[in-house]
Amino acid sequence: MANRDYRYNVEHLVEINNELGESPLWYQNSQTLFWVDIQKNLLCQYSLRTHLLKTLHLNIIPTSIAIRKTKDLLVSADKSIMAYDIEKHEFIVLKKNVFITDKMRFNDGSVDPAGRYWIGTMDYEARNPIGLLYKFNTDYSTEVMENNLVISNGIGWSPDRRKMYLTDSFFKKIYIYDYNMSNGSIDNKHVFVDSEEEEGVPDGLTVDSQGCVWSARWDGWKINRYDPNGEKILEIKLPVSRPTSCTFGGDNLNLLFITSAKMGLPNNWENEQPMAGDIFIFDAAVKGLKENEYNG
């Protein structure tokens, strides 16, 4: 069962101390939360029904996961995109070597309302604008949709399916685009949130049914909620400094699951924040959006 720390708004759900927990994904059929630990090459899952935690060590570097229509998982890893059969524990490469350079890797990704997978890359040195945003179509073809990114991060779509959000953690900004669901095009880019003056940087995000954006604040000890105009309307204080991402789940999609990291913390991190790298849960009192499924 989750343990509540009354100094904060959240409950402590899973003790795991991930180095870099990322890409939380709610699998409604089995009431299971999936996520990855990028640094430890782990695929993790926690059942909300049985409270059982499972981890699988991979021979690849997983950075993002999504659900396929076939009910297995889509995984971005290293430079490739692959499918993972949950029951057979087998990987099938769908697209190998999406890019050639060794100077960047895949980072965060998400599926759009039409079933396409969007996945960004980041500079390994986290300072050069060489990152790209790819769209992985349902026929396994890829298109570059954005460039000049440093750390491409949280991606999401508005409930009316007309807007897309994209984070670049390096610039501490969340951008918003006009999104065309029928052909998957984006244009009219402008800044949705500019948080240069705020402690920490924006990381992963999710969008709720009211069109508000929930953004994890790396080095900020919190999750921020922004209204559809980009105004911050809520802060969720956390007992860890490095939340990485969040997603909605539970029977009514009102539970916000939060991943975190202990990577790069001082040697005495266990004294200051012993739950760093763990999973947290928050009753948001608002419904999230159902996970989109990759249609390829």
The domain spanning residue 28 has which CATH number? Answer: 2.120.10.30
Task: Say if 159 falls within a structural domain.
Answer: yes
Quote the pLDDT of residue 2. 55
Task: Say if 197 falls within a structural domain.
Answer: yes
pTM exceeds 0.85 for this model: yes
Quote the pLDDT of residue 119. 98
- In a structure prediction context, what are the per-residue pLDDT tens digits for the chain, which is 296 residues long? 455 444 567 999 999 999 999 999 999 989 999 999 999 999 999 999 999 999 999 999 999 999 999 889 999 998 999 999 988 889 999 999 999 999 999 999 999 999 999 999 999 999 999 999 999 999 999 999 999 999 999 999 999 999 999 999 999 999 999 999 999 999 999 999 999 999 999 999 999 999 999 999 999 999 999 999 999 999 999 999 999 999 999 999 999 999 999 999 998 888 999 999 999 999 999 999 999 999 99
Task: Say if 104 falls within a structural domain.
Answer: yes
Q: Which two tokens stand for residue 28?
A: 């409604």
Task: Say if 5 falls within a structural domain.
Answer: no
**How far apart are the C-alpha atoms of 46 and 25, rounded to whole Å?**
11
Helix (H) or strand (E) holding 269: helix 269-272
**How far apart are the C-alpha atoms of 104 and 124, rounded to whole Å?**
5
Quote the pLDDT of residue 5. 44
Task: Say if 129 falls within a structural domain.
Answer: yes
Domain count, the chain: 1
Task: Say if 4 falls within a structural domain.
Answer: no
Domain that holds residue 267: 11-291
Query: Which class for 2: exposed (0-12), middle (13-18), buried (19 or more C-beta within 10 A)?
Result: middle
> Which of 184, 170, 177, 174 is closest to 141 using CA atoms?
184
Q: Are 196 and 184 in contact (CB under 8 A)?
A: no
